[in-house]
């Protein structure tokens, strides 16, 4: 965090003055969290969260209904990884927050986190280009700030509960509409226990010059983070949002299950950049979807490097004529990791176009999976989809899968899909080594070359970060 | 499947879901196999919506209830059908079955009558060459969703051709088999088993036809075993009537340096489910999986494929082409699986859909699962309409739009026929396709 972000947060704190039964939470971890919903998930957990947050009845109702949906839905193991069965929902803590909402100074950042930052090459100065920052530790944002110049343009940037309570006229209309509660088991779970995340509104015509950023960190063991993000870009507006995620390594698995909804009104542009670097015991099960109205553009740039199992298929519903959707996806699956990523493009209007480019790298015992869905219904004219997925396998034990699904109706549309799997060229490695590089350096260079054309599409600051992350992950992978 | 009617026949002992295995004249050992298959058939549930192998298929419309064991056809009809079973004039041999009964068999080639070659109708092969069936009969477990229907087939099978070509024997002219289905709600279980030993060569053409327009059921299996260095070409011309529900299940195994080229031409049927598995067992093996489907009216062609690379240095190449008109639907889901250690694998998979109507729907899901690192695997899927410029060019040369569309569609599909090594067979495929497009 940069020093200029050190003022106390201006946002309201949850209604801490409420009389709340804290016996359960305090009993378990009194030393670190003032609010703790305890382990396991029942309707009283929901009430606890709603009480702490001081939410109106309609949100509480929404949560309760979502819990019922979550409990009723089966695990998607008929098609997804059996590893999902290893999530023990009863062992997870669903809400942890500190009432004091301290703003942490750079010095307060734990040593290993700070080291990670420095190794990633994100010194504080680099963060100055951001228009707004939110940092979430466990369930609640510990820091949230938006530059006054941006706020003066009418841009709203705040946490989920806060957004729903302060600006229901803006957010309630779309909340849970792009991704309904029952979309899948994990979106239902998120809808039941969501906390934190960013609610953003960009007024018509406003082009936010600098990116808005959120930084998510899981700090507690056995914890589930369920942030909720909703971005509404009104007519003709533009915004770029970036998120980064990390977590320390615990003995036990941690769950991150977010829901991200984007709404691009007529002619609006949203770019959503994710660099996910959870530690490799995090189950990262995220639902991300956008609605693009007439002539709007939504671009997901999704990079998955960390986690134990990631299942994430950012989607765009192309609802208005000439809307455009794009997913750029990079996945790096190291030892013991499974990156199950992909994209969904639902064409629902004429002349809509979509583009999916996915590159994955599997090393060690890592497994990278691409899963895609492209749907072009009948009576639509001039729709186009292009899908390319390339996979690179580094070691003999590495694995990669590709499962696209494409439905096309009618004669007015075109769809093409291509995928390839290859390995690092021995000749290339040999050549580089003969020029004095070590084998590790040569491999790293070769992998960076494989993803280079995609990395260049990232904002500059992130492409630097990404290259270093790939270097980090490649260390010691040869042999 | 709209033709499948729920009727009182479900309590009929003739109903194929009620009557138990059809033992025919089979020997005891084979009856044991049939009995076990029948039990399996009853154990395995009908496909459900949540089965990944049945994604995109309306499984609620699937029913076996109306179908009954087919009765023997009249002598007059037998003569008529024998005469209508032409295909390739120079064929080495022809077998004709109607409602799962052999109605004629003739060999033109002495090779087929020679001592080493087994060329027999299924029932006779089961009696005279039990060792062949013990080794090769449906050895590949159905992994693509139709386990229930495969079990039904095994419990009912009595018709079809068993062909065993010994080492170094080359049968030059194609061997033909005709299967006719006759009668309301009749069912057939045609079986084709081709075993080619080391360096043997053979070409087989299966024809599937109906006598009338009544609803019917076919559950067929065509298995190919290619030994080291063998070359097998297999072509199926599926021309059931448009009220027929049919399952065609294939398993192909390819040994070292063997080559199998298999092509399906789908013209008829109301609902056709094709499942094809190619297992590359030895280095240097090569499997070509080809399909051409012209889906018209409300036809549904539902195709599932699996390419399994067990051995290094093998090649598999899949090309499925569909033209879709009216309200037709096609489904293609394919998977290339490269096992650990199958390095230098070269696997290819491509599905191309030509959309001729606004009501047609093409679903494609080409998949890859790779567990070896030194491989070259690619797959592709395209869907699109006729190129307006191409049609315009034809029109500017005085060819009417309708004819131009036909020509371009024919060109798009028939390109696949060039991959069949036999010119006569390719010609036959072209003619059959023409008849449908005209």
Residue-wise pLDDT for A216-249, tens only, equals 767 667 788 899 999 999 999 999 998 876 665 5
pLDDT value, residue A465: 67
3-state secondary structure chain B: CCCCCCCHHHHCCCECCCCCCCCCCCCHHHHHHHHHHHHHHHHCCCCCCCCHHHCCCCHHHCCCCCCEECCCCCHHHHHHHHHHCCCCCCCCEEEEEECCEEEEEEECCHHHHCCCCEEEEHHHHHHHCHHHHHHHCCCCCCCCCCHHHHHHHHHHCCEEEEEEECCCCECCCCEEEEEEECCCCEEECEEEEEEECCCCEEEEEEEEEECCCCCEEEEEEEEEEECCCCEEEEEEEEECCCCEEEEEEEEEEECCCCEEEEEEEECCCCEEEEEEEEEECCCCCEEEEEEEEEECCCCEEEEEEEEEECCCCCEEEEEEEEEECCCCEEEEEEEEEECCCCCCEEEEEEEEEEECCCCCEEEEEEEEEECCCCEEEEEEEEEEECCHHHHHHHHHCCCCHHHHHHHHHHHHHHHHHHHCCCHHHHHHHHHHHHHHHC
Residue B78's CB is within 10 A of a number of other CB atoms, namely: 18
Mean pLDDT computed over every residue of chain B: 93
- Cα–Cα dist A133/A152, whole Å: 16
pLDDT value, residue B182: 95
Tokens of B149: 């229907």
For residue B11, what pLDDT band results from cuts at 50, 70 and 90? low
**Is residue B396 less than 8 Å (CB to CB) from chain A?**
no
**Nearest to residue A223, comparing CAs of A339, A87, A110, A333?**
A87
- CB contact (8 A) between residue A402 and residue B353: no
Comparing CB atoms, the residue among A396, A409, A419 nearest residue B360 is A409
- CB contact (8 A) between residue B56 and residue A407: yes
pLDDT digits (tens, 9 = 90+) for B295-314: 999 999 999 999 999 999 99
Phi, psi of B224 (to 5 degrees): -125, 130
β partners of residue A414? A384
Q: Which residue of A has its CA nearest to B383?
A: A415
Comparing CB atoms, the residue among B333, B368, B386 nearest residue A402 is B368
Which of B368, B379, B385, B409 to substitute to test the interface with A, most A CBs within 10 Å?
B368
Phi, psi of A99 (to 5 degrees): -65, -30
- Min distance A362 CA to chain B CA atoms (Å): 9
Comparing CB atoms, the residue among A395, A409, A412 nearest residue B373 is A395
pLDDT digits (tens, 9 = 90+) for B150-172: 999 999 999 999 999 999 999 99
- CB contact (8 A) between residue A407 and residue B362: yes
CA B54 to chain centre: 18
Percent of chain B with pLDDT over 70: 97
For residue B5, what pLDDT band results from cuts at 50, 70 and 90? very low
In this prediction, the residues of chain A whose per-residue pLDDT falls under 50 are 1-31, 99-106, 112-113, 116-117, 120-126, 479
- Cα–Cα dist B328/B77, whole Å: 32
Residue B397's CB is within 10 A of a number of other CB atoms, namely: 8
- Cα–Cα dist A197/A257, whole Å: 11
**Is residue B340 less than 8 Å (CB to CB) from chain A?**
yes
For residue B267, what pLDDT band results from cuts at 50, 70 and 90? very high
The ipTM is 0.73
SS3 A414: strand
pLDDT value, residue A190: 95
- Cα–Cα dist B306/B280, whole Å: 11
- Cα–Cα dist A214/B180, whole Å: 68
Tokens of A385: 């989809």
Beta-carbon pairs below 8 A across chains A and B = 134
Q: Can you give the C-alpha Rg of chain B in angstroms?
A: 21
Region for A364 from its dihedrals, namely left if φ exceeds 0, alpha if ψ lies in -120 to 50, beta otherwise? left
Please determine, for residue B293, whether its predicted confidence score (pLDDT) is greater than 50.
yes
Comparing CB atoms, the residue among B361, B366, B383 nearest residue A378 is B361
Least confident of B257-266, B394-403, B425-434: B394-403
- CB contact (8 A) between residue A407 and residue B385: no
A-chain residues within 8 Å CB-CB of B354? none
pLDDT value, residue A310: 94
Q: What is the largest CA-CA distance in chain B?
A: 69
- Min distance B317 CA to chain A CA atoms (Å): 14
- Min distance B343 CA to chain A CA atoms (Å): 9
- Min distance A142 CA to chain B CA atoms (Å): 43
Buried residues in A348-383 as b, exposed as e (16+ CB within 10 A): bbbbbbbbbbbbbbbbbbbbbbbbbbbbbebebeeb
**Is residue B339 less than 8 Å (CB to CB) from chain A?**
no
Task: Measure Cα distances from A175 to A183, A208, A271, A345, B331 in Å.
Answer: 14, 22, 19, 20, 35
- CB contact (8 A) between residue B364 and residue A405: yes
- Cα–Cα dist B22/B158, whole Å: 8
**Is residue B401 less than 8 Å (CB to CB) from chain A?**
no
Residue A105's CB is within 10 A of a number of other CB atoms, namely: 11
**Nearest to residue A158, comparing CAs of A111, A195, A200, A205?**
A200
Tokens of B154: 């095994």
- Min distance A90 CA to chain B CA atoms (Å): 27
- pTM value is 0.81
For residue B315, what pLDDT band results from cuts at 50, 70 and 90? very high
SS3 A388: strand
pLDDT value, residue B371: 79
pLDDT digits (tens, 9 = 90+) for B179-196: 999 999 999 999 999 999
**Is residue A409 less than 8 Å (CB to CB) from chain B?**
yes
Q: Can you give the C-alpha Rg of chain A in angstroms?
A: 22
Domain-wise residue ranges, chain B: 8-281, 386-438
- Cα–Cα dist A140/B356, whole Å: 55
Which of B381, B385, B386, B409 to substitute to test the interface with A, most A CBs within 10 Å?
B381
pLDDT value, residue A104: 39
Which tops the pLDDT comparison, B66 or B367? B66
pLDDT value, residue A413: 82
- CB contact (8 A) between residue A378 and residue B383: no
Which of B318, B330, B373 to substitute to test the interface with A, most A CBs within 10 Å?
B373
Interfacial B residues in 176-235 facing A (CB < 8 Å) = none
SS3 A210: coil
**Is residue B76 less than 8 Å (CB to CB) from chain A?**
no
**Is residue A358 less than 8 Å (CB to CB) from chain B?**
no
Please determine, for residue B42, whether its predicted confidence score (pLDDT) is greater than 90.
yes
**Is residue A384 less than 8 Å (CB to CB) from chain B?**
no
pLDDT value, residue B275: 97
- CB contact (8 A) between residue A411 and residue B357: yes
User: What dihedral angle (degrees, nearest 10) is formed by the CA atoms of B336, B342, B343, B348?
Assistant: -20
Check if the beta carbon of residue A392 is closer than 8 Å to that of residue A399: no
Interfacial B residues in 24-53 facing A (CB < 8 Å) = 50-52
Comparing CB atoms, the residue among B333, B373, B377 nearest residue A398 is B373
pLDDT digits (tens, 9 = 90+) for B81-133: 999 999 999 999 999 999 999 999 999 888 888 878 999 999 999 999 999 99
């Amino acid at each position: 965090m940069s020093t200029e972000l050190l003022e106390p947060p201006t946002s309201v704190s949850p209604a801490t003055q409420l009389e709340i039964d804290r016996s359960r939470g305090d009993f378990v971890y009194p030393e670190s969290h003032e609010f703790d919903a305890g382990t396991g998930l029942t309707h009283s957990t929901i009430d606890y969260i709603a009480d702490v947050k001081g939410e109106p009845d309609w949100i509480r109702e929404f949560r309760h209904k979502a819990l019922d949906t979550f409990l009723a839905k089966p695990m998607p193991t008929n098609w997804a990884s059996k590893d999902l069965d290893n999530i023990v929902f009863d062992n997870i803590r669903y809400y942890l927050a500190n009432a004091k909402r301290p703003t942490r100074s750079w010095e307060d950042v734990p040593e290993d986190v700070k080291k990670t930052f420095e190794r990633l090459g994100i010194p504080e100065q680099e963060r100055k280009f951001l228009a707004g920052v939110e940092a979430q530790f466990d369930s609640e944002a510990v820091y949230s700030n938006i530059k006054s110049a941006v706020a003066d343009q009418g841009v709203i940037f705040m946490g989920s509960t806060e957004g729903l309570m302060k600006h229901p006229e803006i957010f309630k209309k779309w909340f849970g509409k792009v991704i309904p509660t029952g979309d899948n088991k994990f979106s239902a779970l998120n809808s039941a226990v969501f906390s934190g995340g960013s609610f953003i509104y960009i007024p018509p015509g406003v082009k936010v010059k600098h990116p808005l950023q959120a930084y998510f960190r899981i700090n507690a063991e056995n914890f589930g983070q369920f942030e909720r993000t909703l971005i509404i870009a009104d007519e003709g507006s533009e915004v770029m949002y970036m998120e980064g995620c990390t977590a320390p390594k615990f003995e036990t698995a941690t769950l991150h299950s977010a829901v991200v909804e984007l709404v691009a009104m007529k002619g609006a542009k949203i770019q959503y950049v994710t660099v996910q670097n959870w530690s490799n015991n995090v189950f990262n099960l995220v639902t991300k979807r956008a609605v693009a109205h007439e002539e709007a553009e939504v671009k997901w740039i999704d990079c998955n490097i960390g986690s134990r199992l990631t299942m994430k298929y950012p989607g765009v519903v192309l609802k208005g004529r000439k809307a455009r959707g794009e997913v750029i996806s990079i996945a790096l699956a190291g030892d013991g990791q499974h990156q199950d990523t992909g994209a969904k493009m639902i064409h629902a209007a004429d002349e809509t176009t979509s583009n999916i480019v996915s590159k994955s790298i599997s090393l060690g015992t890592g497994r990278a999976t691409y899963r895609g869905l492209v749907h072009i219904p009948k009576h639509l004219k001039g729709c186009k989809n292009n899908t390319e997925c390339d996979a690179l396998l580094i070691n003999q034990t590495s694995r990669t899968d590709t499962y696209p699904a494409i439905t096309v109706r009618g004669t007015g549309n075109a769809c093409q899909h291509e995928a390839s799997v290859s390995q690092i060229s021995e000749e290339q490695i040999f050549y580089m080594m003969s020029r004095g590089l070590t084998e590790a350096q040569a491999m790293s260079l070769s992998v960076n070359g494989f993803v280079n054309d995609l990395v260049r599409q990232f904002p500059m600051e992130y492409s630097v970060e990404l290259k270093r992350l790939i270097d980090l992950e490649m260390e010691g992978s040869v042999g | 499947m709209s033709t499948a009617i729920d009727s009182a026949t479900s309590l009929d002992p003739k109903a194929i879901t009620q009557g138990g295995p059809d033992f025919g004249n089979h020997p005891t050992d084979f009856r044991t196999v049939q009995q076990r298959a029948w039990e399996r058939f009853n154990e395995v549930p009908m496909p459900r919506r949540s089965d990944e192998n049945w994604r995109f298929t309306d499984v609620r419309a699937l029913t076996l209830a109306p179908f009954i064991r087919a009765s023997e056809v009249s002598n007059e009809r037998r003569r008529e059908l024998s005469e209508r079973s032409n295909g390739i004039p120079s064929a080495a041999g022809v077998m004709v079955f109607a409602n799962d009964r052999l109605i004629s068999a003739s060999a033109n080639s002495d090779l087929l009558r020679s001592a080493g070659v087994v060329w027999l109708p299924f029932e006779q092969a089961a009696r005279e060459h039990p060792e062949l069936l013990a080794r090769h009969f449906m050895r590949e477990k159905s992994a693509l969703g139709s386990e229930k229907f495969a079990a039904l087939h095994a419990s009912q099978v009595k018709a079809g051709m068993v062909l065993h070509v010994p080492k170094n024997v080359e049968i030059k002219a194609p061997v033909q088999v005709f299967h006719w289905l006759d009668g309301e709600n009749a069912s057939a279980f045609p079986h084709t088993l081709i075993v080619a030993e080391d360096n043997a060569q053979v070409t087989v053409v299966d024809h599937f036809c109906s006598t009338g327009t009544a609803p019917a059921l076919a559950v067929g299996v065509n298995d190919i075993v290619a030994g080291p260095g063998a070359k097998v070409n297999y072509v199926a011309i599926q021309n059931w009537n448009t009220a027929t529900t049919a399952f065609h299940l294939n398993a192909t195994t390819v040994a070292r340096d063997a080559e199998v080229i298999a092509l399906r031409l789908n013209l008829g049927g109301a609902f056709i489910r094709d499942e094809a598995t190619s297992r590359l067992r030895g280095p240097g093996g090569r499997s070509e999986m080809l399909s051409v489907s012209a889906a018209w009216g409300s036809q549904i062609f539902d195709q599932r494929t699996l390419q399994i690379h067990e051995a290094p240095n093998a090649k598999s190449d899949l090309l499925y082409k569909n033209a879709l008109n009216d309200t037709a639907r096609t489904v293609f889901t394919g998977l290339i699986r490269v096992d650990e250690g199958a390095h230098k694998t070269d696997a290819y998979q491509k599905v191309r859909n030509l959309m001729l109507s606004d009501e047609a729907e093409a679903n494609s899901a080409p998949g890859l699962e790779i567990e070896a690192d030194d491989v070259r695997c690619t797959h592709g899927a395209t869907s699109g309409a006729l190129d307006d410029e191409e049609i315009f060019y034809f029109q500017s040369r005085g060819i009417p739009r309708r004819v131009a569309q036909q020509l371009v569609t024919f060109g798009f599909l028939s390109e696949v026929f060039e991959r069949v090594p036999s010119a006569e067979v390719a010609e036959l495929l072209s003619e059959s396709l023409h008849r449908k497009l005209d």
